[in-house]
Each structure stands twice: as structure tokens, then as C-alpha cells.
């Protein structure tokens, strides 16, 4: 098994998904190229619980802007779902509220 396959399997065994492959199931693109060699070695990995919010994932050639033999790999995700989820989690984590009555400060009026 190649080093690349070991790394990929390690992520997949931990329930991560390759965002580009998830969106572009049959598209064949490379992220690295040198001379006649090309490979897909750059990834955006996301936990599988985020698969429903991946909107787009692409590989772009940025060699005009950057002097690199790597391409840009990016994923667009719908962050409002994450923000709403975090708000719900914080609300759940607060636990029960309690009231404190200061009897020693009570008067006839209150």
C-alpha cells in the first residue's frame, strides 16, 4: 500500500470525507504536477457529519499567481448550519437554571 493510500485510509477510517471526491465523484483532477508526473496529494478533509453542508469543492490552477507545482484545493460549506448547531449546543450545555432567594434582604414590600 502506498504512503498516500495509508494516509487516505487513516482519514477515512476516522469518518472523514474527501470533500472534492464527495462532490465530484467521477471527476479526475490532479493537485500536484512535475514534469510528466501528476498526483492528487492535496485535500480538504471534513468530518462526515458535514457532508450535507458541502456546497462546492474544486481544484484550481493558480500557477499564474503563485510559483508552485501545487494547485489550489478548496471547499465551500454552508456555515449557517454550523453556527446554528453551535448555538444549540451552547444552550444545551448551560444546564438547568436556578433561582436564589435572598431571604435576609426581603422586606414587607417585596
Tell me what pLDDT residue 59 has.
95
30: closest CA among 18, 39, 21? 39
Q: Is residue 60 part of a domain?
A: yes
C-alpha cell at 34: 512535475
Tens digit of each residue's pLDDT, the chain (110 residues): 666 678 888 888 888 999 999 999 999 999 988 888 999 889 999 998 888 889 999 999 987 788 888 999 999 988 886 677 666 666 666 666 677 777 778 777 75
CB 39 within 8 A of CB 4: yes
Tell me what pLDDT residue 55 has.
93
Q: Is residue 55 part of a domain?
A: yes
The domain in which residue 21 lies consists of 3-105
CATH assignment at residue 55: 3.60.10.10
Tell me what pLDDT residue 95 has.
61
Tell me what pLDDT residue 85 has.
66
Task: Provide the number of structural domains found in the chain.
Answer: 1
Q: Is residue 35 part of a domain?
A: yes
CA 109 to CA 47: how far, in whole Å? 58
Q: Is residue 110 part of a domain?
A: no
CA 24 to CA 29: how far, in whole Å? 10
Tell me what pLDDT residue 99 has.
75
CB 45 within 8 A of CB 12: no
Amino acid at each position: 500500500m502506498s504512503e498516500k493510500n495509508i494516509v487516505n485510509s487513516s482519514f477515512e477510517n476516522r469518518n472523514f470525507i474527501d470533500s472534492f471526491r464527495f462532490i465530484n465523484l467521477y471527476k479526475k483532477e490532479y493537485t500536484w504536477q512535475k514534469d510528466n508526473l501528476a498526483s492528487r496529494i492535496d485535500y480538504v478533509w471534513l468530518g462526515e457529519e458535514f457532508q450535507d453542508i458541502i456546497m462546492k469543492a474544486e481544484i484550481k490552477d493558480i500557477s499564474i499567481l503563485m510559483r508552485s507545482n501545487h494547485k489550489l484545493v478548496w471547499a465551500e460549506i454552508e456555515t449557517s448550519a454550523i453556527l446554528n448547531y453551535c448555538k444549540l449546543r451552547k444552550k444545551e450545555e448551560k444546564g438547568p437554571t436556578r433561582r436564589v432567594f435572598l431571604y435576609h434582604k426581603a422586606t414587607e414590600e417585596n
